[in-house]
Structure 1
Amino acid sequence: MTRRIGLFLLVAGLGTATSALAVEAPVSNTVSDTVCAGEGAGRRCTVSAVEPFPDNRGGLGELSISAVREAACTSLYIVFDEPIALARPVTLAVDGAPPQRFYTPRQLSDLADALDDAGPTDAAAEGGPPEFTRFLRQVAEGAIADQDAGAEMLSRFAAIKEPQRIGLTCGPMERLLPLIRSDRPLRLEFQKQAGGATQVYHWPRLDRRTVEFRLGGLLEALDRAMPGS
């Protein structure tokens, strides 16, 4: 049960925050809003911005991006202006780090079940992402101690995708923060949910999106709102 605590917190946080066909997107650092609540160690600040990007159908899309800091934890939330295809991969990459993949709450719940109930076996991860199987095998072989498995699961996989939003919590963000602070662009890849019934001549590549943006401005605004954090 303890392995589920961080997973439940991430899902709750999503409720309160909100080879692809590349598009050449404008890169923006404009911060549109900063909201803080609480004092001292309980202070929590959210800095938000809207990132426009041209889609590949001649239109314009938007990402609503929020960086949240509470104590030493910095998390990231992105809301899409249209539903995304959850069955397709969603990745966020920063030059110098492996791409971070996102998972549905059901996928993460199944992984937690494999650790809490069924034990770390390959059978428990059947049908799941291959990185889940590798992780469970590492636990089974003792490369990751059983008492550390819950924290390691959150550090690696606490990245949730929902129909119109994604969230990246402390562990994955901690690995990316030094690169983001160096003002390297982030590359988000996802696929828009096809509208209506799929047509005979529907070309899925038309629904793929690649957006590049930077978060330096958001992090600087968080630093100003929470100096010394």
Structure 2
Amino acid sequence: MTDLSRFPVARRWPATNPDAIQLYSLPTPNGVKAAIALEELGLAYEAHLISFSTNDQKSEEFLSLNPNGKIPAMIDPNGPDGQPIGIFETGAILTYLADKTGRLMPKEGAGRYAVLQWLFFQVGGVGPMFGQFGHFYKFAADKVADNPYPMERYRDETRRLLGVIEGELGKRQWLAGDDYTIADIATFPWVRALREGYDAADVIGLDAYPKTMAWVERAAARPASQKGLNIPPRP
């Protein structure tokens, strides 16, 4: 049985099975990506809820795993050279899981970099911009009621990024090619959140991106997505 005692986060959120991957997350557009990938790959894991309502992500134990204080984060008890490893940032987690299993991303060649470029597109563009739009449109609307600029700025950038995705999905079924990859897993929950989480389908004009929305439906309908989108369960 793997000893996780050197990880303070595992002392606050104890593992039932320390030989399984330990996921510390919340079902947000960012948080679900790791769970969906773990489900796709069929890896044994345990999910621990990191509650924002009690500021779990700012606790000393969680910060010991992710000093940036963001979800998700993960411990793999069977990391490189068979030693436990802690990982944070979804781009790093998804790349690690793909490399560990040899799935959801080509091991080498041009196809690998096609996946990585779209993964970085999400990490550097889609996530931050969609998140800021959602913040000002839904969660902080009262704070900018007299200043439409923040919402409009991020709304327009969200539309622009959706246009990039729409153009690419006119050429192929999935973001990085003919196969479903970590690039799709990283991105579709954020597009889905515009409708499901932010209730912004009309203000964004999602009907103008039919290929993108069809892609979201394909990705969300996968059994692993259906499960991963709700892991860890909210109380």
Interval containing the TM-score (normalised by the shorter chain):
under 0.3
The structure with more helix, counted as a fraction of residues: 2
The structure with more strand, counted as a fraction of residues: 1
Q: TM-score, normalised by structure 1?
A: 0.27
Q: Which has the higher contact order (CA 8 A, sep 6+)?
A: 1
